[in-house]
A and B are shown apart, each in its own frame.
Chain A
Amino acid sequence: MQTRTIHKISAAVACFVFLFAAAAWPARAQQNETDGVIRFFQWKVSQDPDDFFNYDKLGVAYIQKARETGDITYYDLAGKALEKSLALESTHAQAGSATKHLAAVYFAEHRFADALALAQKASDLNPGDHTPYALIGDAHSEMGEYENAWTAYSQLADPKVPQSETNGLQYLRETRESNRAFLTGDTKAALAHMQQAVQISIDARMAKENIAWSQFTLGEEYFLAGDRARAKSAYESSLQTYPNYHRGFSGLGKVAAAEGRFSDAIDSYKRAIAVIPLPAYVAALGDVYAKSGSAAEAAKQYALVEYIGRLNAFNQTVYNRELAVFYAEHDIHLHESLELARKEFEVRHDIYTWDALAWALYKNGQPQEAGTAMKEALRLGTNDALLFFHAGMIYESLSMHEKARDFLQRALALNPQFHVLYANTAQAALQKLSKDSVAAKSKGATDAQP
């Protein structure tokens, strides 16, 4: 099932690549180190087809390739290699490595419960290796079990573990602490931890893409904190580290759009899409076209996202939540948006899935239910302008004007250009609320007159 799904996504991806063939930046095959590593371990498994070790390493190389290209078909290959490794050795401590790597593949495929079970098994197989706790925490986090996630992350900081001073565990610790700090509303600490993670990734000479990912993620945190200059710098660093990095281009597109440099934004998103046409990039490009008055171009991009949407809604793949939010944000297929959000609930209950559900409910005219879901989305105190915007709009629909005004103000204070389309919507809603408030007060004062 999973394989078939991936093949269908591949077909769609190929289709999009063809559609974008006329773009100025054709997708280039990333013949790089990782290809060499894959070739090497393919050779190694041909030398000894019964050696579990090399299948594990081959699987890791495929995972890295998936990261670099965004092409999730490599996860399928990774899964096959890792399953072969485990078919050869699954009971001794040595199997811990392939087990945790397969857990990582399941996680990437949004099989969170499976990922959790396997990561726990990896930890049981080799208790001396604490790296699986990162995945255990991630899986709990995606499933909304945050206390369990924090407990798992704390295992990465156990000073009694011989691994504790290795770059690997330090990197895991900093990235997870950053994620935890961000989710619980401590943006300053999140940035500090992520800066540390970037430095460790450089010092440890991690794969170039891994360093670039760390820099990109730091850029995301800066953007969410409303610091566009540092965000831009971090995205640019990721591109210097790993040229043609699709995530770096998408980040620059976001900054350019926020600054009203629509031509630059379009340029950056096209570059990202030329590498891998992820629906998020296509939707963002459409939004920039819409914002800059190119409705026809925007419609083309939205149509592409919808194509992905139909494909993925049918095949239950990894973009459900993104599509639910996309439909809701663009007032299309609203019923389907709600269905997708609810479907996502079958696999995870994190605050962003609550947010997607809340927004879909709001757009489907169910404000009471939306308010209940939004409360769950806000429960960790996360400082995210888009969450605040959604909350503001939902509370406004519930006539909870003070709360609505508060959240909209917080959204705009945190990041005045948090979204290329909805920053203005937030401004307008806030002005309307203020006018209504003034009018109400005025009316109250008039009514109070004898």
Chain B
Amino acid sequence: MNISRALRVSVAVAKSKFIPFCVAFVLVAASAFFLPASGRASDHRESPTADANGEGDITDIFAFLDPNDASQIVLIMNVNPFAVPAETPSYKYSPDILYQFKIAHDKRAVEDLVIQAVFENVPTTTCASGQTISIYGPSRPHVTGTRNVVLEERPTLKGCTNTTLQQNGIEVFTGLRDDPFVTDVGQLNRILQNKQDLFRDFPAFALGPLRGRPVRADHTSGVDGFGGFNVTSIAIRLPKSDLAGSGFLGAKGLLGIWGTTSMKSKKTDGDHEGDSDQTFLQFQRVGQQLFKTIFVPSTMRDAFNATKPEDDTQNWSSLIPDALTTKDNDGTGNTIAGRAGLLTALGFTDAAGGSAAGTGRGAPLLLPANFNNTSKDLLRSALIPDVLRINIDVLPNGILPGAAATGGNGDPQLGLGASGLQNGRRPADTVTDILLQFARQLADVNFPSSLGVPGSGPARPGALTFATDRRVLVVLQGTDWIKPDAQVGNVSGNVAPFGGNDQPFLTQFPFLAPPAPLPGEPGTIGFPAQQ
């Protein structure tokens, strides 16, 4: 059976177990208000709809050293996904939600420190924005886990939202920003639903045509599904020394960082011992990019959000595939080198160095064919516990003083293993491509025996199944082609000022791009080119 045939055959069984990552946003953000029928007077006062506010819906967490001052670390939490430029005044923060950055700097994935943000509605005569923010911490929390209380101390900083504040050695920005997340989510959905096969069209594929988007004149083919949308941000800049400890997971200089949102407990709704009317219950947590949405099935998302990172290994390890190693695990040459050879032979790595004609069929390999891994748990250790990992000893330019760079393609900001997928996360990092590229080179895949390629043969525990699990096709090209071919190989945010984003990032705090304008209004950027 050739690959094309295998794809077609998979139609009947390709009901993906995993909904695409945009769905996490859709489900939370787009619950609708329906205004009720009122049969007692004129008709037409019934009907819907207005989207619920996503004030507690975290889209992304960022952590990076200030490129202008390596003694400072910047933490960013974005909420209110899919904020439309036309609705600017309506996107705020909830006074009923506790927003927290949690930092683990010791061996376990338990928060040793928290930074809490609490909002309050005030008259516009007090603050033009109508809200204040109070920042508490960084301090050791009174209680850890999923039920939290506000720190009993004076706020480190307090002031009006929608501006930048500086108090007590920390700097805080709150307000509307362009959503820095970049992914061709529309095409991703179509691949998962078997309506398309790849992000970019591959009609001349040796084993039969593979459906994807056509290449445009600017050598891109992807459409940033998040382009034009805004988010509301909480950005904090503070001395990295305030967060330093003995080292997350025992690794010197390493921090584990994740964001949570929690709603005040309704005591009548639960009987949890120790709860008070000041207890906040966690309803969402976010660490590394895409983890939950790619690896956690939709039916388990609520359960995931109600758990803590220290339990991730126990709870969620089985959701992550085995990693390939230097050792053949099935007698078919199914190694890291074998996979690299397969991807190259099939033509999925030919955008190396940039294709002037825009004919690339895949990103260049991120890891060398001789990448030295001996653990089948490499992906698991990189992905769980689901927290961002940042080595604060690595300078913003990627240089780790006194140590050799260990990044996959020589980029020291790209780590793999206990240090996560990349060192922290900067707004311009092309994080979708990073995950796609690591996964396509390392995730164990079981191909049909008829293909006769490394990994072909009977089903193996721990391996993804081609092509029933269409996530294999999602990662095959290693990019969603948002950026022009010549830039696809650079995934670590060094393509200033855009990275892969539709708006240029600021070079100063808060580093995020200003809010996207309405299409056609001043400030609209024609990148990527509109179809």
A residues contacting B by CB (< 8 A) are: 33-37, 39-41, 43-44, 46-48, 50-53, 56-57, 60, 63-64, 66-67, 70, 72, 89, 91-94, 97, 100-101, 104-105, 107-108, 110, 126, 128-129, 131, 134-135, 138, 141-142, 159, 162-169, 171-172, 175-176, 178-179, 182, 204-207, 210, 213-214, 216-217, 220, 224, 247, 250, 278-281, 318-319, 321-322, 350-352, 384
Contact = CB atoms under 8 A, between A and B. Distances in A.
Interface string B55-92: 00000000000000000000000000010111100101
Contact of A108 (B47, B87, B269, B520): B47
A36 B87 contact: yes
A349 to B, nearest CB: 11
Contact of A37 (B38, B84, B531): B84
A210 B23 contact: no
Given A94-B23, A97-B26, A179-B38, A172 B33 contact: yes
27 contacts: A41-B84, A46-B531, A47-B223, A64-B49, A101-B48, A101-B49, A104-B47, A104-B49, A105-B47, A128-B298, A129-B27, A129-B31, A131-B33, A162-B302, A168-B31, A178-B36, A179-B36, A179-B37, A205-B53, A207-B90, A210-B35, A213-B35, A220-B40, A278-B42, A280-B41, A322-B42, A350-B39
Contacts of B47: 63, 66-67, 104-105, 107-108
A64 B86 CA distance: 14
A418 B189 CA distance: 55
Contacts of B35: 67, 175, 210, 213-214
B193 interface: yes
A168 B36 contact: no
B486 interface: no
A92 B49 CA distance: 21
Interface of B: 19-20, 22-23, 26-27, 30-53, 82, 84-87, 90, 92, 185-187, 189-190, 193, 223, 225, 227-228, 263, 266, 269, 283, 298, 302, 518-520, 530-531
Q: Which of B27, B48, B186 neighbours the largest number of chain A CB atoms within 10 Å of its CB?
A: B48
Contact of A278 (B31, B44, B51): B44
Going nearest first, the 10 A-B pairs with the smallest beta carbon separation are A36-B86, A51-B186, A280-B42, A168-B52, A104-B48, A43-B519, A108-B47, A138-B37, A207-B50, A48-B223
Contacts of A131: 31-34
Contact of B266 (A105, A165, A384): A165
Nearest to A35: B86
A126 B531 contact: no
B515 to A, nearest CB: 13
A97 B52 CA distance: 12
B53 A167 contact: yes
A37 B87 contact: yes
Given A134-B34, A217-B45, 14 more contacts: A39-B86, A46-B531, A48-B225, A53-B26, A53-B189, A60-B50, A89-B189, A93-B23, A97-B30, A131-B34, A164-B269, A206-B33, A213-B35, A280-B41
A107 B50 contact: no
A408 B228 CA distance: 60
Given A60-B32, A97-B30, A167 B39 contact: no
B19 A92 contact: yes
A162 B299 CA distance: 12
B521 to A, nearest CB: 9
Contact of B531 (A48, A52, A108): A48
Given A37-B87, A48-B186, A94-B23, A168 B518 contact: no
Given A48-B531, A51-B225, A63-B47, A171 B266 contact: no
A105 B44 CA distance: 11
A206 B50 contact: yes
Nearest to B30: A97
Contacts, number: 201
A126 B228 contact: no
A214 B38 CA distance: 11
Contact of B31 (A166, A250, A281, A351): A166
A36 B520 CA distance: 11
Contact of B32 (A37, A168, A213, A350): A168
B120 to A, nearest CB: 13
A163 B31 contact: yes
Contact of A56 (B30, B37, B302): B30
A169 B31 contact: yes
Contact of A224 (B40, B50, B269, B298): B40
B186 A50 contact: yes
Contacts of A213: 35, 45
Given A48-B225, A93-B27, A94-B26, A171 B33 contact: yes
B49 A60 contact: yes
A286 to B, nearest CB: 14
B402 to A, nearest CB: 47
B44 A318 contact: yes
Nearest to A44: B228
B119 to A, nearest CB: 12
Contacts of A138: 34, 36-37, 46
Contacts of B90: 33, 205, 207
A204 B53 contact: yes
A104 B34 contact: yes
Nearest to A153: B36
Contacts of B27: 93-94, 126, 128-129
A142 B269 contact: no
Q: Which of B26, B33, B38, B41 neighbours the largest number of chain A CB atoms within 10 Å of its CB?
A: B33
Contacts of B87: 33, 36-37
B44 A72 contact: yes
Nearest to A110: B43
A171 B190 CA distance: 34
B37 A321 contact: no
B187 to A, nearest CB: 8
A36 B43 CA distance: 27
Contacts of B225: 48, 51, 53
A175 B50 CA distance: 15
A171 B52 CA distance: 10
Nearest to A142: B37
Contacts of B266: 165
Given A100-B32, A168-B33, A108 B46 contact: yes
Contacts of A351: 39
Contacts of A352: 39-40
B196 to A, nearest CB: 9
A63 B228 contact: no
A319 B42 CA distance: 8
A39 B518 contact: yes
A320 to B, nearest CB: 9
A47 B530 contact: yes
B297 to A, nearest CB: 11
Nearest to A208: B90
A105 B48 CA distance: 8
B251 to A, nearest CB: 35
A137 to B, nearest CB: 8
A47 B527 CA distance: 12
Contact of A162 (B45, B51, B283): B283
B130 to A, nearest CB: 10
Nearest to A352: B39
Contacts of B48: 60, 63, 67, 101, 104
Nearest to B47: A108
B286 to A, nearest CB: 16
A33 B84 CA distance: 10
A166 B19 CA distance: 23
A264 B85 CA distance: 39
Given A40-B519, A46-B530, A107-B37, A247 B31 contact: no
A131 B31 CA distance: 7
A142 B39 contact: yes
B32 to A, nearest CB: 5
Nearest to A130: B31
